[in-house]
Structure 1
Amino acid sequence: MLRKVLECRRCGYRTVCGRDDLVARLRIVGQLRRDKDPDESIVEALLAEYTPLMTCPGCKEVGLKANDADDEWDDDGDWQAAVLCEICRQPIDPERLEFLPETKRCTECQHKSETGTLPDEDPEFCSRCGALVELRVSRGSGITRYKRFCTGGCRGV
């Protein structure tokens, strides 16, 4: 089972992350966009390279350090990994998880989703280069039309 301790050198922030949380943090820095279920070896290799690009949630300093989780974390019976919201990446309240153990969203994001105020949840990526794809108004007269454009500049979609 893959578990790492992420630490901030500046403020002393420290958290233990499981495989799913590590994958989510790698996606935030632009990795594993297309791979839904990456191997642990790939996650570890990317983690070694991209933790210096991760932002500390405590002090907002860029540059975390990843270490193997010590056995002391395994012996602690009260240890429980925080489940992060899939939208805002903030911890979901333990009371909500106790009532809805399979939930993936915090109360606020779930409310925004139900009321329709949540922005588009699933970004689209270019099949050629992997950059974000955005919708733009096409130029021309008549009916307004939209086209998909790659933000990476490869002209593929």
Structure 2
Amino acid sequence: MFSAQLTCSECQWRTVCGEEQVAKRLRKLGLLRRAAEPPVEMLQELLISHGSQLKCDQCEAVGLAVSDPAVDEFDEAGDWQQAILCEVCRKPISEERLEFMPKATRCVKCQSAEDRGEVEEEFDYCPKCGSLMELRTSRGGGITRYKLFCTGSPSCRV
């Protein structure tokens, strides 16, 4: 199981991301196509080489530091690291949950929603270039007025 800790140098925000979360962040940058399960080695390499392009979820600053959460388990004083935030709602995961499940990346509420099958917002990606798709209005009327447009290069006409 692959995981990475992302830390913002501006506001000191940090989170631990698993394979799925890393893939989502890389897709937002347009670095991954919509492959169901990209190889772990590819995720690691892309995260290391493009971590400086990732945005902080809290302050929107660009440039997150990427590290291994196992290495950063203790801070300089020997205390436990700051609270680990839920990857979905960004609220701290309770100490009891982390004690029971040390590798947990979601709080009880968000994990329960996932277990019940409640889906969080999914992004659409261009089948041609892999960039994010954006819902815009077109010249048509009615329901056909709304269409998905590629946010990638202008030459991509999907």
Superposition TM-score tier, normalisation by shorter sequence: 0.5 to 0.7
Q: Which has the higher contact order (CA 8 A, sep 6+)?
A: 2
CA distance in 1, matches of 2:123, 2:37: 18
Q: Which has the larger radius of gyration?
A: 1
Gaps of 5+ in 1: 105-109, 114-120
Identity %: 27
Superposed CA RMSD in Å reads 4.1
In the TM superposition, residue 34 of structure 1 has moved relative to its aligned partner by 0.7
One-letter code aligned to 1:103: A
Choose the corresponding residue for 1:84, options 69, 83, 87: 87
In the TM superposition, residue 7 of structure 1 has moved relative to its aligned partner by 1.9
- TM-score (norm: length of structure 1): 0.59
Paired residues, what number?
138
Gaps of 5+ in 2: 98-105
SS at match of 2:125: coil
In the TM superposition, residue 82 of structure 1 has moved relative to its aligned partner by 4.5
2:30 and 2:130 in contact (8 A); partners too: no
CA distance in 2, matches of 1:81, 1:52: 21
1:53 matched residue in structure 2: 53
| Alpha-carbon displacement from aligned partner over 1:96-116 (angstroms, at most 9, x marks no partner) | 954674424xxxxx8xx9xxx
Q: Aligned in 2, Cα 1:9/1:154: closer, same or farther, shift over 3 Å?
A: same
2:138 matched residue in structure 1: 137
CA distance in 2, matches of 1:81, 1:20: 17
In the TM superposition, residue 20 of structure 1 has moved relative to its aligned partner by 2.5
- TM-score (norm: length of structure 2): 0.59
